[in-house]
Chains A and B, each alone.
Chain A
């Protein structure tokens, strides 16, 4: 809301930085890592909608990302479906499964919802692992084709794929900013603040929560579909809850319930684990305590902290202006029933 004047230039600078990043990067591997961070950020942005804005801890999110990835993997590898057709189907299928899962799980509140979704995620994992005939079981799917070219643009190299992923990231963030800054977003936030009060304000709890859930699973599915075409190998482990936990860590570090928090967290933590190679397998030795310390001492995250300061400063400046005005023209703001 506030500080709109310099928000736009800042965003423009960030976008330019993202665009020139491949030219500045020392090697293709860095571009690859950054692309991966963007893909995880898209999934995390989706999780943030249901977790950060609507206040429901969905622990099946990685499962929905896996559904998107497997849809692309199975359709392209086993059925020869063109990548982009599979891509669209992946988004739609994740959202449809998300709709039914949401309908079922959102009848439960608070802790029960989280426990239930933990089980839903694990079921997705087990089904992927056990249903050999469809999913190739524990072997996973290899040799997934890269996204096919669109017009003159081809996506068979790291650079092109980076820009493709960046494009979807920007679209994701743009759509999310539309959603969370609209009346709909206010309804989500109202539910997070208190379901009873939200209902009293005439918000249909079930319908609104299911919508948030479906949108978040749609984001997960799209991220999964991009992942499949980018990494080109997928295994059942991507549905495991530990990947949901990764995304929760991204969101908490960057700022829960903020638009750019998940992106900031995804980039920071991805580079942190990359630069500390020995951490690869043991990143959770650091992430685990980090999660605990964050919720104990810094629950609002980096962007949340920054925004809080902004909000406070803005509120203070409005107050100042009002004080000055009331000196000039007294009685203006006095309540009618004073």
Chain B
């Protein structure tokens, strides 16, 4: 029972972190049709920002999270204004290569400042929570609660505010949205800011139980891509459900199959599913 519960907890932790990263990726894709390969690097920068704020400036964990979110959101917005926005009429190949260029730059930049070695963010809540005969590290519960709380806030923002529903409208129909006179610049700035902030929050949440290093974003971004392909590019529920599916597949796969190969599970799942359904599981959101 306890072991099974641990796997559920692991799956939920992983899944909620993946979902946050995938949400940002899918929002940007839905609106600008850019597969932002640099998104994983934004996640990585988020972790380093939190590490810096807590470790060097002695900031409170939650303050550091807000600071990291702010910095990465700004970085994301700048990347839109200075790169992606200028390439909006270029062939899609150029967006992708520019995103890769940004990814390379951010990784090398971080490595130049903090080195290639692993860092650790001191766990702010090292306690273990006990309930009946179940034990759970507090940090994992915090990750799950914070991630779902944030998703709920995002949901409210997207459905209850004018700006939010504009983002949804634009994700569903770009041409239509521009006809209705939606301010495309504002929407893309907000979308990039949200996606950057989500990545930074995810990284800060996950950092205390994980390692921080320059290429830490690689696996995460690729899994996030797998998630949004499975869940439908641009689909928000798809990103959340997909994130949890991959999270659970990994935690149970690592336990019942092999820890060594757990990282391959997501990709194997992708290959398997796309072999039978090239349009993804929920093709409504997918546009080639």
Measured CB to CB, the residues of A under 8 A from B are 51, 55, 57, 104, 107-112, 114-116, 118-120, 122-123, 126-127, 130, 241-242, 245, 248, 252, 281-285, 287-292, 294-296, 299
Contact = CB atoms under 8 A, between A and B. Distances in A.
Contacts of A119: 222, 225-226, 267, 270-271
B136 interface: no
Interface string B218-260: 1100100110010001000000000000000000000000001
A295 B229 contact: no
Given A116-B229, A119-B271, A294-B97, 9 more contacts: A55-B93, A115-B35, A123-B264, A123-B271, A130-B261, A285-B109, A288-B104, A295-B87, A295-B97
B222 A122 contact: yes
B124 interface: no
A110 B90 CA distance: 14
Interface of A is mostly: helix
Nearest to B260: A130
Contact of A116 (B83, B264, B274): B274
Contact of B83 (A111, A112, A281, A296): A296
A285 B108 CA distance: 5
B105 A288 contact: yes
Contacts of B159: none
Interface string B144-172: 00000000000000000000000000000
Interface of B is mostly: helix
B274 A288 contact: no
Interface of B: 29, 33, 35, 37, 83, 86-87, 90, 92-94, 96-98, 100-109, 111-112, 116, 218-219, 222, 225-226, 229, 233, 260-261, 263-264, 267-268, 270-271, 274-275, 278, 286, 288
A114 B96 contact: yes
Given A112-B229, A122-B267, A284 B97 contact: no
Nearest to A52: B93
Nearest to B223: A119
A328 B230 CA distance: 67
B104 A296 contact: no
A198 to B, nearest CB: 15
Nearest to A105: B274
Given A57-B96, A111-B33, A245-B100, A285 B267 contact: no
Most buried by B among A109, A112, A295: A295
B225 A115 contact: yes
